[in-house]
């Protein structure tokens, strides 16, 4: 978070993940704000939601897509809202930009940024910058949740893998298996939902295998272009559907402890987020952009083109342009075909 702030000129950043339905925090990290103000901010949660158009609208913002408060809040809210008047403005904060990093029946979370001492609102360049990092943040939160949001020391990384009930494979750039934990070895022995072909990790479906190969190749580089390609790759199983998350392993203590050939860790987990799985799966298979994913998610939710344009704050012609790209990439000819394709990936094979 601090690196993102330094790179893009932000002064304050807040990451918050809450367990539902009670709303208890499981992860909170703040950069650029004194502890006194962090505690005080908890008094304004309802008013903060109002800034973004209320909780219902807040829950419908697409994952990974940055949203600017000054563009979605009405002028009357900006002038009368207690969060702005009593908390933000005394700190020299006049606008916010944020994106959702996780949203499921059991968890919701987002990452927000602010600048201090300027009334200049956030703009399109800030949206473009955060679009680059949003999928990486979501991947980190998703995988952190698999670990119970607990950090693992590098020195013990290899030895603790067997303690997890989900499968973990460490692979080289060609998907050669460097290490498999106990759960992953059981999957490999059963060839479900992943198998070993001459020592290489392989999925049953050719299209999803291609998505996995592309994600690992991206991870083998500097990881900057991986984006959302390595999140939620579908792995069809005989019983329960699963997904694969790809985590790049940087050069360093963790990578040295498990073997220098390992460039990525594959986390094979239950598809516990069915509402998000179709979009992630299609993004991985067809190399969809974040904007195209957002359009697809809203289509699956039953929104019309006009409603999508209003929700995202873009022109109807832009929505139509993204739809044409979706048709070209997926081979679908109608919106209903896109919805059926997404539904097919959310159902057990």
Question: Mean pLDDT per segment of 10 residues, for the chain of length 349 residues?
Answer: 88 84 70 89 84 79 87 85 92 93 78 93 92 83 61 48 79 92 92 94 88 90 71 81 80 54 86 55 71 86 89 86 89 82 55
Residue 276: per-residue pLDDT: 53
Q: Which residues pair with 13 in a beta bridge?
A: 31, 113
Token pair for residue 306? Answer: 């006009």
The answer to whether the CB of 260 falls within 8 A of the CB of 228 is no
Give the per-residue pLDDT at 274.
44
* Full set of structural domains in the chain with CATH: 2-146 (3.30.450.80), 154-270 (3.30.450.20), 287-346 (1.10.10.10)
pLDDT for position 155 = 40
- Would you state the pLDDT for residue 253? 43
* 3-state secondary structure at position 326: helix
Q: H-type helices in the chain, by residue range?
A: 2-8, 35-41, 45-51, 55-60, 69-72, 75-80, 82, 124-146, 157-160, 182-190, 206-220, 253-258, 277-286, 290-300, 305-312, 316-330, 335-346
What is Dmax (Cα atoms) for the chain?
A: 65
Backbone angles phi, psi at 14, to 5 degrees: -135, 125
Torsion of CA 244, 327, 300, 45, to 10 degrees: 70
Question: What are the backbone dihedrals phi and psi of residue 332, each rounded to the nearest 5 degrees, phi first?
Answer: -80, 150
Is the pTM higher than 0.75? The answer reads no
């Amino acid at each position: 978070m601090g690196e993102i702030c330094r790179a893009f000129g932000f002064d304050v950043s807040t990451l918050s993940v809450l367990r539902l339905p009670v709303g208890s925090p499981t992860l909170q990290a703040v950069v650029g704000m004194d502890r006194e103000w962090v505690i005080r901010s908890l008094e304004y949660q309802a008013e903060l939601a109002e800034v973004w158009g209320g909780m219902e609208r807040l829950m419908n913002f697409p994952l990974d897509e940055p949203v600017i408060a000054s563009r979605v809040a009405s002028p009357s809210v900006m002038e009368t809202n207690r969060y702005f008047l009593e908390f933000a403005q005394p700190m020299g904060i006049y606008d916010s930009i944020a994106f959702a990093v996780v949203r499921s029946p059991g968890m919701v979370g987002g990452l927000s940024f602010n600048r201090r001492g300027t009334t200049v609102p956030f703009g399109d360049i800030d949206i473009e910058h955060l679009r680059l990092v949003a999928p990486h943040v979501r991947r980190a939160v998703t995988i952190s949740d698999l670990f119970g949001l607990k950090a693992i020391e590098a020195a013990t990384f290899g030895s603790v893998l067997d303690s997890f009930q989900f499968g973990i494979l460490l692979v080289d750039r060609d998907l050669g298996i460097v290490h498999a934990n106990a759960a992953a070895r059981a999957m490999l022995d059963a060839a479900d939902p992943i198998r070993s072909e001459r020592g290489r990790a392989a999925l049953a479906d050719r299209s999803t295998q291609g998505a996995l190969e592309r994600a690992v190749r991206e991870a083998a580089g500097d990881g900057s272009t991986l984006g959302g390609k390595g999140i939620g790759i579908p792995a069809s199983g005989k019983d329960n559907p699963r997904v694969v998350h790809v985590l790049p392993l940087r050069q360093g203590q963790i990578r040295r402890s498990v073997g220098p050939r390992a460039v990525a860790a594959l986390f094979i987990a239950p598809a516990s987020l069915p509402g998000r799985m179709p979009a992630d799966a299609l993004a991985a298979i067809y190399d969809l952009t974040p904007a195209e994913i957002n359009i697809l998610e809203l289509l699956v939710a039953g929104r019309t083109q006009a409603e999508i344009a209003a929700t995202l704050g873009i022109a109807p012609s832009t929505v139509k342009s993204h739809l044409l790209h979706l048709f070209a990439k997926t081979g679908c000819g109608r919106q209903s075909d896109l919805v059926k394709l997404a539904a097919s990936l959310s159902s057990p094979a």
